[in-house]
Amino acid sequence: MERFIPAIFGPPKVEPNRAPIDWIGIAFAALLSACIIFPLLVVGTWAFTEVWRYPNVIPQQFGLRFWGQTLSRPDVWGALMLSLQLSTVVTLLSAAICLPAAYAFARLNFPGRNILFFSFLAGHAFPKFGLLIAIAAIFLQLNLIGTFWGVVLIQLVGTLLFMIWIPVAAFQSVDRRMEEAARDVGAGPLRVFWSITLPQAGPTIAAAVLLSFVGTFYETEGAWLIGAPGIRTMPVLMISFINNQMVIQFGAVLSVMLWVPSFIALMFARRVIGGGAFARGFGG
């Protein structure tokens, strides 16, 4: 996995003049491995452990027993299905309303275009949970607390910036001269869009859609605040597993399962997230 990341996130390169042993680099690599990879390895080990009592460094017994137990819990299945449903609905709605808007921002000139484009930053200028409380107060009056559609709305708002800004960049990177050429030989606007614009912008847009699906799948705070008690998504279920100190392995198995979508996102991210451009997008 690490092999792929340098290709995307490669630092600005400086020509090496000589190659002494990179002690600083080795120290950073060792420290970061211990702080970032090691905890995740521990979780991975717990997921495949049947017995691991305190003073032992290695689990006494490995096995898949707790996978069976976790997967046979109805609340796990309910939460998984609900999370997949929510993520699908939110992503489809988001694509349906954001992609046309992204096209308009990228290609059409209309009054207030710039101010509206940057207004989507507003949600990121405020501390998130404070904003969620303010929204929850509105939802309370509308009886949307604890409902499926309340959670859909709150998660939909969270995807707006992402699903507009990345596709805008994708539409703008399409070669306009190819579109003009197609139009010159008589292709209609729809044909041009379908045959020229979409194939070029498609991969980036697909990655944005996927990232928004994964982001929604993991969204915890909105689902926790707006969804409770009726709507229990995977991350919300995981919180209650941690709080209630249930069988340790349940949490570990869920973590490993939950991490799979993240892994897919990681694979796709190398297409969308170009190191410097991404950081500049965050204002760096």
Partner 1 sequence: MTDAVEGAARPLIDNTDSKRPHGLLLVAIPVLLMTWLIIWPIISAIGRTIWRPDAEGNVGFSLSSYVFFFSDQYSLNNLWITLWTTLMCAILLLVICLPIAIYLRFSSGRIPAYVQALAIFPMFVPSIILAYAFIRVLGPNGMVDILLNAVGLPKIRTPYLTPWGPVIGLVWDNIPLTVLILLSGLGNVANHAIEAARDVGANRLQVFWHIILPRISNSVLVAISFAVLGIFSSFTLPYLLGPAAPEMMGPFMNRTFREVNDPLNAITQAVITFGFCIAFGLFYVRSVARNQGK
Within 153-182, which residues bind partner 1 (CB under 8 A)? 153-154, 156-157, 160, 164-166, 168-170, 172-173, 176-177, 180
Of 121, 281, 270, which is closest to residue 207 (Cα–Cα)? 270
Cβ–Cβ < 8 Å for 236, 227: yes
Q: Which is nearer to partner 1, 113 or 191 (CB)?
A: 113
**Is position 147 an interface residue for partner 1 (rule: CB under 8 A)?**
no
Cβ–Cβ < 8 Å for 235, 261: no
Applying the rule CB under 8 A, the residues between 56 and 115 that interact with partner 1 are 56-57, 97-98, 100-101, 103-106, 108-114
Cα separation, 261 vs 121, in Å, equals 26
**Is position 127 an interface residue for partner 1 (rule: CB under 8 A)?**
yes
**Is position 26 an interface residue for partner 1 (rule: CB under 8 A)?**
yes
Tell me: cis bond preceding 229? Omega within 30 of 0 counts: yes
Size of the site for partner 1 (CB under 8 A): 119
Helix axes 148-172, 74-107, angle to 10 degrees: 40
Write the binding mask 195 to 224 for partner 1: x where contact by CB under 8 A, - elsewhere: -----------------------x-xx--x
Binds partner 1 (CB under 8 A): choice among 62, 118, 149, 194: 118
Residue 124, burial from CB neighbour count under 10 angstroms (0-12, 13-18, 19+): exposed
**Is position 47 an interface residue for partner 1 (rule: CB under 8 A)?**
no
β pairing state of 61-62 and 49-51:
antiparallel
Q: Which is nearer to partner 1, 186 or 284 (CB)?
A: 284
